[in-house]
Amino acid sequence: MNRQKCTAIFHRLQAANPNPRTELRYRTSFELLIAVMLSAQATDRSVNKATERLFGVAHTPETMLALGEQRLREYIQTIGLFNSKARNIMETCRILVQVHNGRVPDKRDDLESLPGVGRKTANVILNTAFGQPTLAVDTHIFRVANRTGLASGRTPRQVEDKLMRRIPKQYLQDAHHWLILHGRYICTARKPRCAECVLYDLCEFAGKAANAKN
């Protein structure tokens, strides 16, 4: 994909949604970290339902540690993999208190050293909490990038690296949210809503589908 088409794609996404935001509910960088850790293999809706209650009683590393792992499990038991997530959250809270003075670090290496925090989660925190131009390639972004032709790749890291090189600088800060929301509601996995897509005439997937009908 050439730079002109790439720029046009993000210009349209920006026009359709000037102020994109994560659908996870949070008030602080710590709450965002916990919500993102819980969101692996879970919907934002299910995470929000659990954290609404959880953050009412534990919204800092210190209060989460005071809550204890067993009670934490009770708050998040509706979320997949809740046992391992509870263990990781408790150990992460211990590290935040002991190493980072109870604060969420704003450096990639520090974030990825936390239990249960990989590159994708770190990218979300760096972008959403600290305003850094990073891209967390989840299944939605992976699908949209490959379908549209923005960045083809066999792995999330391949797609991330290509997107980081190709997306114009002025769009990079919000690109993560635009692509996720587009994949979640328009460019869906099974039945993409191409007729409603603002990128239809710029998309390689749509172009191939149209040629196949002719």
For 200, phi and psi rounded to 5 degrees?
-50, -50
The region, left, alpha or beta by phi > 0 then psi within -120 to 50, assigned to residue 131 is: left
Of 44, 106, 120, 174, the catalytic one is: 120
Q: In angstroms, rounded to a whole number, what is the distance separating the alpha carbons of residues 148 and 141?
A: 10
Q: In angstroms, rounded to a whole number, what is the distance separating the alpha carbons of residues 32 and 70?
A: 21
For residue 138, indicate whether it is catalytic. yes
DSSP secondary structure string, 53-121? HHHHH--SHHHHHHH-HHHHHHHHTTSTTHHHHHHHHHHHHHHHHHHHTT----SHHHHHTSTT--HHH
Of 138, 169, 201, 208, the catalytic one is: 138
Give the residue numbers marked as catalytic: 120, 138
